[in-house]
Structure 1
Amino acid sequence: MLIGEVARRSGVSARMLRHFDAIGLVRPTGRTVGGYREYTPEDVRRIFYVEGLRSLGLSLRQIARTLDDPGFTPSALVGDLIEATGERLRREHELLERLRTVDAAEPAGWPDVARIVELLHGLGSPSAARRQQAVLAPAEPASVPVEVLARAVLAESDPNVAGALRWALARAGGDGVASLASAMASDDADVRRRAVLALAELPGDEATAALTDALGDADTTIRGHAALALGARGVTRAVPTLLAMVVEGTNDVEAAELLGTLARDAEWADRIMSALVDELAVHTADSAVRIRLTQALAEMPGTIALDVLRRLAHDDDRPVALLASALVNAADRAAASSPKANRAG
């Protein structure tokens, strides 16, 4: 069978068949009187083997070794091909994600494209310092893809880099809340913690709503982060969690300060005071808890906690009594030195 007919039947071009011959991969068994290549059925069968292996991704050099090696093991070859193909697909998937990211950012020109690509490379670095540098590099806020920053902050374990990412995310604007809020449904508590910390730095009603939902999280750390952020925003739904933080001793100083701020609302002042007094009654045997509750009473606005502190100055728990007494004396001195008191005198 001459080369033209072999090309028609096999689908392999005559040019490629000549190349196979030149490299010794498939050499025709014979030649015609005129010197033309003449292929036997066995030669054609080898051509089909070559094409089959090429379709699996093997190079011609690998195919030659495979076909000529008597110790060839198909399973080993297929395993290597699976590993190589998986790695290639991973790289192509990363490329696809980069292209989608660039497209979503709607770059105005090549400088914007270069900035996005530089950011992606930097965020993929194994070096925390390099990742932080990539985030903090000078750039216009609009050129930073919000979705990229949101994904990065959810995956970042280094606290310094995470802080830089949260800063950049808040600065970039856009709808980063949606990605962070959806991450609050993750089974991974670390992801939810990163999400709630990022949400705490984003303004707006949507971020506040997501933080409010986080008050019901099973993780106490997540609930605490949400409560501190909400308390700073004046959201009274955070009061029960803030009170629990005082009792448990988790960020209790900050939680007590926020309870005092929220108690400036007359509607909530009595509720917060009642809750603190109730906790004092419950924890009669735990001196550390009672001390923290006493300190929280000192954060209440005006003199609304003064009567309770006067009673605590005679508490059976001596450390509590000493603390309450000191707080009462300080309040009395402040009242005595106030301009109103001086005028009355």
Structure 2
Amino acid sequence: MTVTGQDTEAVRALRALEDDRSSVRLRAALAIGTTPDPDNVDPLVGRCAIEPEFFVRDMLTWALTRHPVRLTLPALLRELHSERAQARSQALHTLSKIGDRQAWPAITRSLLTDADDEVARSAWRAAALLVPEGEEAALATVLVTQLGRGGQETQLSLSRALVALGEAMEPALLAATTAADPRIRVHALATQRLRRDPDAGFTYAIEEAKRVVALGGAGQEGR
């Protein structure tokens, strides 16, 4: 087989993805995305699972979006079953960037409730983007089971996903404002506030919700 100059460059770029220097890996991912090649899809997906640097992972995702969906989608869907949390998280992130709703059935309840916060956050974002019309309320019912989970960044991710569902999520969210767990009530109230006033800021919304819960209030915020 004859190896062309372009083939040699592609091989070098793939090897560079394993370089110890993140700047070299970043340039390699950029080069691969600039000249898409079907043979590069699996190596890119594989690297996403282990790449330690955020900016390089983001470039790997961009490189994958430059390839045909018929090639990237099957590879990414396989990653959703990986035992490695980063593989699941990055695959979900990439699916949300590709935006093809063929991926929707693969975003299961187990991913939406994954024990790893980064996987769950990626699943929430992807689900909110890919949910088919008419299934928003069912998705909201699952998402509200995660209210009160994790730190502020995780909670903000969930609130944004719920807000993105629009009016369909309101019944499930309203029910959560009367939950027994005060953390759930606070998060639900803060999400209601974020929906009404996106510019208020999530920190302010959380603090306001804490005051309401401390004073014995709940569902009145959403009415």
TM-score normalised over the length of structure 1: 0.49
Equivalent residue number for residue 135 of structure 1: 29
1:118 aligns with 2:118: no
Paired residues for 1:1-345 under 5 Å: 110-137=4-31, 140-143=34-37, 145-174=40-69, 175-212=71-108, 215=111, 218-221=114-117, 222-235=119-132, 236=136, 237-249=138-150, 251-264=154-167, 268=168, 272-283=169-180, 286=182, 288-300=183-195, 317-318=214-215, 324=221
How many residue pairs match? The answer is: 201
Query: Could you list the per-position Cα deviations for residues 8-57 of structure 1 after superposition, in whole angstroms to 9, with x for gaps in the alignment?
Result: xxxxxxxxxxxxxxxxxxxxxxxxxxxxxxxxxxxxxxxxxxxxxxxxxx
**Equivalent pair of 2:177/2:186 in contact (CA under 8 Å):** no
Larger relative CO (CA 8 A, sep 6+): 1 or 2?
A: 2
The 1:282–1:230 alpha-carbon spacing in structure 2 relative to 1, beyond 3 Å, is: same
Task: Output the CA distance in 2 between the equivalents of 1:319 and 1:127.
Answer: 54
Aligned-pair RMSD on alpha carbons?
3.6
Question: Are the aligned partners of 1:132 and 1:160 in contact in 2 as well (CA < 8 Å)?
Answer: yes
Shift of 1:219: 2.7
- How far, CA to CA, are the matches of 2:102 and 2:51 in structure 1? 23
213-222 vs 143-152, which deviates more? Answer: 213-222
Q: 1:169, 1:192 → 2: CA distance?
A: 15
Larger Rg: 1
One-letter amino acid of the structure 1 residue matched with residue 22 of structure 2 = A
**How has the CA–CA distance of structure 1 residues 138 and 316 changed in structure 2, closer, same or farther, with 3 Å as cutoff?**
closer
Quick one: distance in 2 between partners of 1:139 and 1:215? 28
Q: Match for 1:137: what amino acid? A: A
Q: Secondary structure in 2 aligned to 1:248?
A: coil
Alignment check: 8 A CA contact 1:246 1:252 kept: yes
Distance 1:194 1:254 in 2: 16
Equivalent residue number for residue 203 of structure 2: none
Letter in 1 for 2:44: L
Q: Percent identity?
A: 18
Q: Structure 2 vs 1, CA of residues 140 and 191 (structure 1 numbering), >3 Å: closer, same or farther?
A: closer
TM-score (norm 2): 0.71
- Letter of the 2:54 partner, please give it: P
Q: C-alpha separation between the residues in 1 aligned to 2:54 and 2:188?
A: 31
- 1:168 is displaced (CA, Å) by 0.9
Q: Assess, with a 3 A threshold, how the Cα gap between structure 1 residues 273 and 142 changes in structure 2: closer, same or farther.
A: closer
Distance 1:208 1:241 in 2: 15
Gaps of 5+ in 2: 198-208
Following superposition, the deviation at residue 226 of structure 1 comes to 0.9
Unaligned runs of 5+ in 1: 1-102, 303-311, 329-345
